[in-house]
Amino acid sequence: MPVSIVGAGPGDVGLLTIKAKQRLERCDVLIYDRLVPRQILALAPATAHKIYVGKNPDGLATPQDRINELLVEHGSTGCSVVRLKGGDPFVFGRGAEEAQALKAAGIDFELVPGISSAFAAPAYAGIPVTHRSISPMVTIVTGHRFVSAPGVDWAALGAHGGTLVVLMGVRQLGSITGGLIRGGMGPDTPVAAVMWATRSEQSVLRWSLGELHQRLGPTGSGGDVGVTSPAVIVIGPVVDEATPWFEHRPLFGLKIAMPRPAGGETALADGLRQLGADVLDQGVTRIVPLPLPSFPDIAARYHTGGEEPIGRAVDWIAFTSSRGVSAFVDGALTSHGLDARALHGHRIAAIGETTARSLGRFGLLPDVVAPTPTGTSLAEALIAETDQGATIWLPRAERGSPEIVQLLTDADRDVRAIACYATRPVPVSEWPRSLTEPDQLDALILTAGSTARSLAGGWDELFGRRPSEVITPDVRVIALGTSTSQGAHAAGFHVDAIADRPDVDALLEAICTADS
């Protein structure tokens, strides 16, 4: 199997290519660089051997020869090896050297290009690197000085025209600006430095070339004017044509933790990222499917600890989550060689549109969809559609909310909760750093009572304190629904706001409410 030299892109997880994602998801060994985001690293299997070979410009660095040795060592075993590099491996990424080392060792390799920060950084700052009426060309150059390589003739570039994009030029910024001016580039030429491009920490500084050089002097570093690595320097008239958009989104810069079951739905997190938030949505619980008899066997006799027969045919099957849908279909149908036809004649209800779409993926169209995705709304819809004594099944979690059961029971419906799956806590040792240092967050979104219980248990193990004592008043706690809010309160959280629907608009409203 060839070694995959993969570009991770500039930082925004959404800019990872489909092929890069595919290679990561199947790798046995992952050899990765310093600036690769944690969300991208999380795409690799938990069983993958992960090797860090980062190079810190102000600290320790893994020698390139050692990286080449690791690639040859692991590539020769025949397992799936991914060499993950920031940006594009062949744009100042030393990917060519690694490919040559593999070729010399007789090991096959493939290159998976990534989006280079040379283009992504200006774009996320709203700066076009070319413009029909201003700049017909762009030059990409490294500002890093190589001991055994020819240097860059900055004076010649100063006379070149067009747009100049400089990577790795923070330390040499004074000499770079001086060389450009000596070559004839006008002192009034606009300059922008885009730091931490495409990430929630992105910031942009602007000057004229002459002003910047005056402040730096001939040997000054970018740090003297507030420019820190990683930074992309854009020089040319196009800087004045910028149309900023990235920093203008409503949640830009907010660090939000939204812990969820491992492998769970990420649509809400993705929606918040589109609004500018840095969302940390790694799992703190695991979903464990519970064994189920086949659907016909459940229908014939439902066991509740004794041998109590159902006594009558089921009238409705009501699903309270997408997870319940997949667990029930997998456990009661697919694993027994059955499909949706086994549910013929039974009416189906869904707690909301998301759950209804999950049913649709299995060829099941619900007869009733609750107008709002809450247990109360689903109970009211079922009561309106059924007579007293109707039998209603609820395929759901082992420790599901008692709310809907109580509402239906009070209305004289025969309710049977079917435990299809359980949630189990992920060990604290596997938690992301953001959850072991929650004071660094701006907001915490709780999506289920099980998540709240898992967090509370982990913090008790780490700190010996309740959640209300761990989370500082500056961190806003948002609960997704009243049931989650009740579970969070029981686990020791102080909830600042409740999102009444599991969608991005409701979460945005709740975050703004908690902030007011």
Q: What is the pLDDT of residue 302?
A: 47
Give 94's pLDDT tier (boundaries 50, 70, 90). Answer: very high
Q: What is the pLDDT of residue 269?
A: 86
Question: Of 323, 380, 318, which is closest to residue 347 (Cα–Cα)?
Answer: 318
Q: How far apart are CA 502 and CA 480, in angstroms?
A: 6
Give 292's pLDDT tier (boundaries 50, 70, 90). Answer: confident
Q: Kindly give the residue spans of alpha helices, DSSP state H, lying in 34-109.
A: 38-41, 64-75, 95-104
What is the residue whose two structure tokens read 């014939």?
300
Exposed / middle / buried, residue 120 (Cβ in 10 Å: 0-12, 13-18, 19+): buried
Question: Of 412, 399, 353, 360, which is closest to residue 378 (Cα–Cα)?
Answer: 353
| Peptide bond before residue 230 is cis, with ω within 30 degrees of 0 | yes
Give the lowest-confidence range in 253-267, 340-354, 403-417: 253-267
Give the lowest-confidence range in 9-13, 311-315, 442-446, 484-488: 311-315
Q: What is the pLDDT of residue 309?
A: 41
What are 368-413's pLDDT values in tens digits? 999 988 888 999 999 999 999 999 999 998 888 888 999 999 999 9
User: What are 5's two structure tokens?
Assistant: 């030299």
Give 150's pLDDT tier (boundaries 50, 70, 90). Answer: low
Q: How far apart are CA 253 and CA 230, in angstroms?
A: 17
User: What are 89's two structure tokens?
Assistant: 């491996």
Give 147's pLDDT tier (boundaries 50, 70, 90). Answer: very low
User: What does DSSP assign to residue 500?
Assistant: S
Give 138's pLDDT tier (boundaries 50, 70, 90). Answer: very high
Q: What is the pLDDT of residue 301?
A: 52
Strands 49-52 and 29-32: parallel
What average pLDDT score do residues 264-292 get?
A: 84
What is the residue whose two structure tokens read 């099957």?
317
Q: Which of 55, 330, 442, 500 is catalytic?
A: 55
User: What are 153's two structure tokens?
Assistant: 């003739």
User: What does DSSP assign to residue 105?
Assistant: T
What average pLDDT score do residues 466-470 get?
A: 90
Q: How far apart are CA 109 and CA 76, in angstroms?
A: 11
pLDDT at 287 over 80: yes
User: What are 366's two structure tokens?
Assistant: 């619900």
Exposed / middle / buried, residue 259 (Cβ in 10 Å: 0-12, 13-18, 19+): buried
pLDDT at 51 over 60: yes
* CB atoms closer than 10 angstroms to residue 18: 8
Q: What is the pLDDT of residue 177?
A: 95
pLDDT at 265 over 80: no
pLDDT at 21 over 60: yes
Strands 203-208 and 190-195: antiparallel
CA 334, 337, 339: angle at the middle one, nearest 5?
A: 55
Q: What is the pLDDT of residue 401?
A: 82
- Contact in structure between 129 and 242 (CB atoms under 8 Å): no
Q: Which of 85, 168, 258, 496 is catalytic?
A: 168
**What order of strands is seen across the sheet that includes strand 278-280?**
278-280, 255-257, 443-446, 476-480, 497-499
Q: What is the pLDDT of residue 308?
A: 44
Q: What is the pLDDT of residue 428?
A: 87
What average pLDDT score do residues 140-152 get?
A: 73
33 assigned to active site: yes
Q: How far apart are CA 12 and CA 304, in angstroms?
A: 49
Q: How far apart are CA 296 and CA 289, in angstroms?
A: 19
Q: What is the pLDDT of residue 312?
A: 46
Its pTM stands at 0.79
The secondary structure element, H or E, covering residue 394 is strand 391-397
- Contact in structure between 54 and 106 (CB atoms under 8 Å): no
Residue ranges of domains in the chain, CATH in brackets: 3-115 (3.40.1010.10), 119-247 (3.30.950.10), 255-282+431-515 (3.40.50.10090), 289-423 (3.40.50.10090)
The secondary structure element, H or E, covering residue 212 is helix 209-216
* CB atoms closer than 10 angstroms to residue 402: 13
163-190: b or e for each residue (b if 16 or more CB lie within 10 Å)? bbbbbbbbbbbbbbbbbbbeeebeeebb
- Contact in structure between 379 and 342 (CB atoms under 8 Å): no
Strands 283-289 and 414-425: antiparallel
Q: How far apart are CA 108 and CA 104, in angstroms?
A: 10
Exposed / middle / buried, residue 241 (Cβ in 10 Å: 0-12, 13-18, 19+): middle
Q: How many CA atoms lie within 13 A of 122 on its CB side?
A: 27
Strands 163-167 and 231-235: antiparallel
